[in-house]
């Protein structure tokens, strides 16, 4: 699936505007340029950035309530999924917080936010920051049991947790729920047949 096909899905199925598509084009250019110097995304996925990174991140907008005040993206990396969600966002009061411990990646995120005029802030390691948002999202961050620990011990309650996971999602859930079970929902990913999106509420 190439750029034009992905853009078609973003517009038709996920309601991205023409303006947000233009910002995504600028964002992907910045990622690919920076990737020549620093490893923001895997080199093997550069040719599939629109499918593997943009659309994979963008599908989360279906599960996000943009009438909330704020959202946290844990381990934001190059800005997937946090910046894609912010580019989609139409509510000026909605605020995205990007948690990233790599100084190089933090500098890149700050540059994208400035150049694209986005409503997002960049923070460091979650263990040294305040995690006080109503929604937490993450993609390629850590194992599920670590994310649940963060939700339970560090994050403000209540909050919704939205996690992009690969084909081992159910396996990770089973391992993480050995001692305590939490209600959850599994949604299918639109980019990868076996990948899943885990939805959980922490009260």
Domain spans of the chain? 60-202
Question: How big is the chain by its Cα radius of gyration, in Å?
Answer: 16
- Judge whether residue 158 has pLDDT over 90: yes
- Distance, CA of 166 to CA of 183 (rounded, Å): 19
> What confidence tens digit (pLDDT) does each residue in 11-58 have?
999 999 999 999 999 999 999 999 999 999 999 999 999 999 999 999
How sure is the predictor about 113, in pLDDT bands with cuts at 50, 70 and 90?
very high
CATH architecture of the domain with residue range 60-202:
3-Layer(aba) Sandwich (3.40)
Residue 177: predicted pLDDT: 85
Tell me which residue has tokens 């947000």.
20
| pTM, rounded to two decimals | 0.95
Cα–Cα distances (Å) from 72 to 25, 43, 80, 139, in that order, read 23, 26, 12, 12
> What confidence tens digit (pLDDT) does each residue in 57-83 have?
999 999 999 999 999 999 999 999 999
């Amino acid at each position: 699936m190439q750029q034009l096909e992905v853009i078609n899905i973003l517009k038709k199925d996920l309601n991205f505007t023409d303006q947000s598509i233009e910002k995504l084009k600028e964002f992907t250019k910045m990622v690919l340029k920076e990737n020549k110097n620093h490893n923001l995304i895997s080199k093997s996925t550069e040719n599939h950035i629109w499918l593997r990174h943009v659309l994979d991140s963008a599908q989360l907008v279906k599960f996000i309530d943009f009438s909330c005040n704020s959202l946290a993206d844990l381990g934001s990396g190059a800005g997937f999924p946090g910046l894609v969600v912010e580019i989609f966002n139409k509510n000026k009061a909605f605020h995205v917080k990007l948690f990233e411990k790599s100084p190089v990646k933090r500098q890149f995120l700050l540059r994208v936010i400035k150049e694209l005029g986005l409503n997002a802030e960049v923070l460091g390691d979650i263990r040294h920051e305040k995690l006080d948002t109503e929604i937490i999202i993450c993609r390629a961050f850590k194992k599920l049991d670590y994310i649940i620990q963060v939700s339970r011990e560090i994050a403000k309650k209540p909050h919704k947790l939205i996690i992009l996971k690969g084909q081992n999602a159910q396996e990770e859930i089973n391992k993480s729920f050995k001692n305590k079970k939490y209600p959850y929902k599994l949604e299918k990913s639109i980019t990868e047949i076996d990948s899943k999106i885990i939805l959980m509420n922490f009260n």
